[in-house]
Amino acid sequence: MLVLARRVNEQIVINGEIFITVLEAGRGGLVRLGISAPPHVQIYRHELWVEIQAENRDAAAPANPDTAVDFGRLLSKPVPPPHDEKNPPS
């Protein structure tokens, strides 16, 4: 971890495209930061990022362990040919 000291209105530059500016350093340890970055860079507060990651893991997991097995069985069943005038159902 890189640790830097900055005063109000001083900046940190990351990769030449992300600029972090110290806007305010208040009493009680609260620091206000301004962040300028290209649109493709996603910026989150850490606690929100942790929640998003947990929700993504939950969404990617099957509702119950048997769901994946049931889905696999459905995919392995033979598919009947389509019915049309040339290929009537038997």
DSSP 25-57: E-GGG-EEEEEE--TTS----HHHHHHHHHHHH
What pLDDT, on the 0 to 100 scale, is given for residue 88? 65
pLDDT at 73 over 80: no
Q: Give CA–CA dist 42/1, Å, rounded.
A: 20
Of the candidates 6, 34, 5, which has an alpha carbon nearest to the alpha carbon of residue 18? 34
d(CA 41, CA 75): 38
Predicted local confidence at residue 69, as pLDDT: 62
| pTM as predicted | 0.61
d(CA 52, CA 46): 10
Residue 19 pLDDT: 98
Q: Are 35 and 19 in contact (CB under 8 A)?
A: yes
- Give the rounded percent of residues in the chain with a pLDDT score beyond 90: 57
Domain locations in the chain as residue ranges: 1-38
| β-strand partners of 11 | 21
pLDDT band at 49 (very low <50, low <70, confident <90, very high): very high
Q: Is the pLDDT of residue 72 over 70?
A: no
